[in-house]
Chains A and B, each alone.
Chain A
Amino acid sequence: MTRELEPFGGRTRAAVVAILLTFALVSTVSAALSIWTTSRSKDRGTVITVAARQRTLAERYVAEIALARSGETANPGATGRLLVQSANALLDGGPVPAVEGDDDESVLPATSSPRLRAQLLQAQRLVSDLTRTGSAVLAGRPVPTNLTASERLSMTDPVLRLRVLAALTSNVSLDATRTIASGTDRNIRDLITLQVGLGAGGLVVSLLLAWALIAATRRQTAHFRSLVTSSTDLVAVLGDSGCRYVSDSVVSSLGRSRDELTGAGFLGFVHDEDRPALEQALADGGATTLEFRLQNALGAWRHVEAHLTDLRSDRHVRGVVVNARDITDRVALQKELSRQAQRDNFGTQLVEALEMADEERATYEVVERAMAEVSATAPMELLLSDSSRANLEQAAVNAAGAPGCPVQSPFSCVAVRRGNPVVFESSEALNACPKLRDRPEGPCSAVCVPVGFMGRALGVLHATGPANRPLDANQVAQLTTLATQAGARIGTVRAFERTQLQASTDGLTGLINRRALEQELRDLLKLGQPFALVVADLDRFKQLNDRHGHEAGDRALRVFAQTAEHALRDGDLIARWGGEEFILTLPGLDAHAALPVIGRIRAALAQAHTGGHPPFTASFGVTDTSAGETLEELLRLADLGLYASKQGGRDRATIGEPPTDGPALAAVAAPDRASGRNGARKRPAIQDAAREDDPEPRGAEIR
């Protein structure tokens, strides 16, 4: 069975109570004995008086008898009665009559001591013999011989007999008096002995109890000491002149010596930022709780949470007691949690920002802003491979600059190969990436995080910092988040763009299709961008198809597309409009300026007619944005130009003019049969009318 440890247990209290009880008991017994003895002595005093009086009375009795016999006035009878009454009272207790002119009546207790009783009994017998003899002498009778007290009186003289009896009575009374006195003395001696014994016994018991008390107190002190010293809580007492006490736990947790910590030294180990608050709390006194940092022997800061108790008025302490515990781990955890939250926040914001970036360029901008958020000072760059996945190019750069990693291809990068972030403490280290060495900025640290999508390496996010002081773990974590999210977005955007491209491209020629072009043209018109619009149509295409087959037709279409595309400037657009019809958009040019471009196309077409396939030509209709405001208007004008070119003998370009008279006007007014063939957009009937005669072999038109 385990016994509970009771630091505040009742042992001490029990010892104190026992000491008090002992003293109370000893005192009570002592007082009771004194009272008892005193009361007995008081009775004894009366008894002694009466007993002593018997001597006088016996002698007086004899003298009075002598007087009475000689005729003098005397009353021996009364004295004799007094003697008898006193003797009876001394033996068995009772009232004693007063002696006239001497003392008062008194009441005696019965005698119990055997020795005294024997003496008083003897005295009673002798008094009886004395008074009987006295009575006989007074009456003139013969003296009695039947004596009761074993005395053997041989003399016959009655007076001598009386005197002897009186002497015997007197003697026995004296003996009784002595016995009583010696008994009283003995009582008092006994009392003194008892008192001394009680005192000594009480003293011994008290000493034993006091020893027990001291032992209990020591044990308690030991309990408390062990509680304080073995506790991991840090305990210190700070007085006016500095630290007065530190517990072992403080010494061991800070790794500093007691001498260092006590005195004025203690506050020196408190963090500069925390010291004023602590000093204020010490000055204010009162119970309070605060946190502060203490520097240990290694120079690291330990966070402690301390409870202050003002015991300066307690003369045993004379200071403020600081009960503290080390919360460094808790503080670290809180910091980590807040960093985590910050990272999560960064990640959330990044994802949202990237979602809004619908093309790669916008994604790069988000990456650059995120870089600045990770670190405004560290050089950073995002290196991405092109579609061939062979070359790495700088896609995004931090505002603080770019490290300029010379890596060429994704798989030359160690981080990409490993598929994990790599941190290099110093470019000078043996295991540092060789691409970090000999940079213009000198030795550096670096963080390289691979960027990928769906398991495919896209590139690397690269950041540098001062040598041996790389970005911290939190920043590395943020860069990892950035690399992951940016990789995912870039991959998605690239896939989307590819799909977009496929949806807007003509499968045969690789040119954008009519729908994509329409969108482009509407955008250009909306922006008010001037451009020239050219409609091209291959001459006698149906004939080509019919005579040489569709392969020849398809090839002619591809040749035209390539030739025209080649002749165009950057920024010019060419689209397959449908069938053998193409539309070219030349931004920044008017219709006249577009004619030389068409000339180059026609020349190139003439050059391209090689191999076993028949040559072909194309007719062009031209207009520009100064001639119309809507796409439909422009297309109609360009069609008019094309019509004119066809009419004019094909293989030529004509700027479409609004018809003012003649057949052109009539043709414009002709029924529209083209809507069924060309889809949603209404085509001018003029064009259709011109094409009606395409199937006809008109070799002269081909030049």
Chain B
Amino acid sequence: MRLVPIVSRLGAIAVLTAALCGCGGSGVVSRDGTVVGISERDFSIRAPKIVPAGDAVLRVVNRGPDDHELIVVRAEGGSLPMRDDGLTVDEERLEHSEAGVLEPGNPGSVRTIDVHLAPGRYVLLCNMAGHYLGGMRTELVVE
């Protein structure tokens, strides 16, 4: 029957297309590295607890309703230093430990940032005024 080869061919095309798109959840390895899905909202950040070391693409979705940024800081134990206002993390003092910074984005935006993650412990945070203290921080372990 001629129908069978057509159906099987269509199936093969569908599988191939899905693979090439690279649309997968967290931990899917693409050509540029591990894609890490991160979701921000008022006032929390959701991310995998553990990601493999090396190059990674952080795919950040802002679910709003506020604008949010994402700062990836290597933080080996203890809390982060605060600025004098007492409301924001002192980024200048963390300059050497920053793995990546994503500037504030609108609610609904999906953005990516390429980072190189050395094994260790990292903190993901939003440093908009009050957001860090309001709950927008999470820890990430790179192995």
Interface residues, chain A, with chain B CB atoms under 8 Å away: 115, 118-119, 121-122, 149-155, 160, 163-168, 170-172, 175, 178
Residue from A121, A122, A170 with most neighbouring chain B CB atoms (10 Å)? A122
B81 at the interface (CB under 8 A from A): no
Contact of A168 with B130 in the complex, beta carbons under 8 Å: yes
18 cross-chain CB contacts under 8 A: A115-B65, A118-B65, A121-B65, A122-B42, A122-B66, A150-B41, A151-B134, A151-B135, A154-B135, A155-B133, A163-B87, A164-B134, A167-B87, A168-B129, A168-B131, A170-B129, A170-B130, A172-B66
Kindly state whether residue B108 has any CB partner on chain A within 8 Å.
Answer: yes
Q: Is the CB of B131 within 8 A of A171?
A: yes
Tell me if B75 is interfacial: C-beta within 8 Å of chain A.
Answer: no
Q: In the bound complex, how far is the Cα of B133 from the Cα of A166, in angstroms?
A: 12
Given A151-B134, A163-B86, A175-B67, 11 new contacts (CB under 8 A)? A118-B64, A121-B65, A149-B42, A152-B44, A163-B87, A167-B87, A168-B134, A170-B130, A171-B66, A171-B129, A171-B130
A168 nearest CB neighbor, chain B only: B130
A152 close to B65 (CB less than 8 A): no
In the complex, whether B50 has a CB less than 8 A from a CB of chain A is no
Q: Which B residues lie within 8 Å of A165 (CB)? A: 130
B107, B129, B131, B135: the one contacting A115 at CB < 8 Å is B107
B43 adjacent to A115 (CB under 8 Å): no
With a CB–CB cut-off of 8 A, which chain B residues contact A164? 87, 130, 133-134
> How many whole Å from A54's CB to the nearest CB in chain B?
14
Residues from 8 to 55 in B contacting A, C-beta threshold 8 Å: 41-44
8 Å CB interface, B55-80 against A: 64-67
* Most-contacted residue by chain A among B42, B44, B131, B135 (CB, 10 A): B42
Question: Chain B 69-109 against A: per-residue CB contact (8 Å), 1 yes, 0 no?
Answer: 00000000000000000110000000000000000000110
Residue of A166, A168, A175, A178 near B43 (CB, 8 A) is: A168
B66 contacts A175, CB within 8 Å?
yes
Complex partner residue of A150 from B43, B86, B107, B128, CB under 8 angstroms: B43
Residues from chain A with a CB closer than 8 A to the CB of B41 are: 150
Kindly provide the distance from the CB of A120 to the nearest chain B CB, expressed in whole angstroms.
9
Residue in chain A with minimal CB distance to B132: A164
A118 and B108 CA atoms in complex are apart in Å by 12
CA distance A183 to B67 in the complex (A): 15
- Does B87 contact A172, Cβ atoms closer than 8 Å? no
Residues from chain B with Cβ under 8 Å of A163 in the complex: 86-87, 130
CA distance A168 to B133 in the complex (A): 10
Tell me the complex Cα distance, A152–B42, Å: 10
Q: Which residue of A lies closest to B67 (CB)?
A: A175
Interface pair A171/B128, CB less than 8 Å apart: yes
Question: Chain B's nearest CB lies how many Å from the CB of A649?
Answer: 173
B42 and A150 within 8 A (CB): yes
Which A residues touch B135, using CB under 8 A?
Answer: 150-154
Separation of A273 and B67 alpha carbons in the complex (Å): 103
In the A-B complex, list the 6 residue pairs whose CB atoms are closest, starting with the nearest.
Answer: A167-B130, A152-B135, A118-B65, A167-B129, A151-B134, A168-B130
Q: Give CA–CA (A178, B133) in the complex, Å.
A: 23
Q: Determine whether the beta carbon of B87 is less than 8 Å from that of A151.
A: no
Q: A115 touching B130 by the CB < 8 A rule? A: no
Chain B residues lying within 8 Å of A175, measured Cβ to Cβ, are: 65-67
CA gap between A163 and B129 in the complex, in Å: 10
Partner of B65, one of A119, A153, A170: A119
A209 to B73, CA, bound (A): 66
A160 and B86 within 8 A (CB): yes
- Inter-chain CA distance A118–B107, complex, in Å, is 10
* Chain B interface residue bracket vs A: 10 to 19
- Residue numbers in B under 8 Å from A167 (CB-CB): 87, 129-130
Which residues of chain B come closer than 8 Å to A115, judged between CB atoms? 64-65, 107-108
Contact A151/B86 with A115-B65, A170-B129, A171-B131 known, Cβ cut-off 8 Å:
no
Closest Cβ of chain A to B88, distance in Å, is: 8
User: Which chain B residue lies CB-closest to A170?
Assistant: B129
Which residues of chain B are near A119, meaning CB under 8 Å? Answer: 64-66, 107
Question: Per-residue 0/1 for B104-118: is the Cβ within 8 Å of any A Cβ (1 yes, 0 no)?
Answer: 000110000000000
In the complex with contacts A164-B134, A171-B66, A175-B67, A152-B129 CB distance below 8 A: no
The CA-CA distance from A115 to B67 in the complex, in Å, is 11
Q: How far is the CA of A254 from the CA of B130 in the complex (A)?
A: 105
Distance A154 CA – B133 CA, assembled complex (angstroms): 8
Q: Give bound CA distance, A178 to B108, whole Å.
A: 15
User: B65 — which chain A residues lie within 8 A by C-beta?
Assistant: 115, 118-119, 121-122, 172, 175
Q: How far in angstroms is the closest Cβ of chain A from B131?
A: 7
Q: Contacts of B128 on A, CB cut-off 8 Å?
A: 171
A470 to B97: give the CA distance in the assembly, Å. Answer: 137
In the complex where A164-B133, A171-B128, A178-B67 touch, is A151 in contact with B108 (Cβ < 8 A)? no
| Residue in B closest to A157 when the chains form the complex, CB atoms | B86
Q: Give bound CA distance, A119 to B43, whole Å.
A: 13
| Chain B nearest CB, measured from A469 CB (Å) | 106
Task: Report Cα–Cα, A571/B30, bound state, in Å.
Answer: 165
Q: Nearest CB to that of B137 among chain A residues?
A: A152
Chain B min CB distance to A133 (Å): 13
A149 to B41 alpha-carbon distance, docked (Å): 11
A160 to B134 alpha-carbon distance, docked (Å): 11
Most chain A beta-carbon contacts within 10 A, residue among B43, B66, B67, B108: B66
Q: Tell me the complex Cα distance, A86–B86, Å.
A: 27
CA distance A119 to B128 in the complex (A): 15
Closest chain-B Cβ to A177's Cβ sits at a distance in Å of 11
CA distance A645 to B128 in the complex (A): 194
A153 touches B133 (CB 8 A): yes
Q: Determine the chain B residues whose CB is within 8 A of the CB of A149 once the complex forms.
A: 42-43
The distance from the CB of A172 to the nearest CB of chain B, in whole angstroms, is: 5
**Minimum CB–CB distance for A625 against chain B, Å:** 156
| Residue numbers in A under 8 Å from B66 (CB-CB) | 119, 122, 171-172, 175
CB distance from A703 to the nearest CB of B (A): 171
CB nearest neighbor in B for A161: B133
The docked-state distance in angstroms from the alpha carbon of A155 to that of B128 is 18
The answer for the CA separation of A172 and B107 in the assembled complex, in Å, is 11
CA distance A170 to B86 in the complex (A): 15
Least Cβ distance of B79 to chain A in Å? 11
List residues of chain B with CB within 8 A of the CB of A118. Answer: 64-65, 107
From A121, A151, A165, name the one whose CB has the most chain B CB atoms within 10 angstroms.
A151
Contacts of B43 in A (CB 8 A): 149-152, 168
Cα A345 to Cα B59 with chains together (Å)? 124
Provide the bound-state CA to CA distance between A687 and B117, in Å.
Answer: 197
Q: How far is the CB of A170 from chain B (nearest CB, A)?
A: 7
Measured between beta carbons, the chain A residues less than 8 angstroms from B133 are: 153-155, 160, 164
- Taking a contact as CB atoms under 8 Å apart, the answer to whether B44 and A150 are in contact is yes
- How far, in Å, is A354 (CB) from chain B's closest CB? 119
Residue among A153, A163, A168 with the most chain B CB within 10 A? A168
Interface centre among A153, A163, A175 (most CB of B within 10 A): A175
| Residues of B close to A166: CB separation below 8 A | 130
Interchain nearest-CB distance for A655 vs B (Å): 166
Tell me, in angstroms, the Cα distance from A115 to B134 when the chains sit together. 21
In the docked arrangement, what's the CA distance between A170 and B67, Å? 12
Q: How far is the CB of B53 from chain A (nearest CB, A)?
A: 29
Query: Which partner residue on chain B sits nearest A116 by CB separation?
Result: B65
- Smallest distance from the beta carbon of A55 to chain B beta carbons, Å? 10
B64 partner residues in chain A, CB cutoff 8 A: 115, 118-119
Q: Which chain A residues border B134 with CB–CB below 8 Å?
A: 151-153, 164, 168
A151: contacting residue among B42, B67, B129, CB under 8 A = B42
Report chain A residues within 8 Å CB of B108. Answer: 115
Measured in the bound complex, the distance between the Cα atoms of B7 and A536 in whole Å is 164
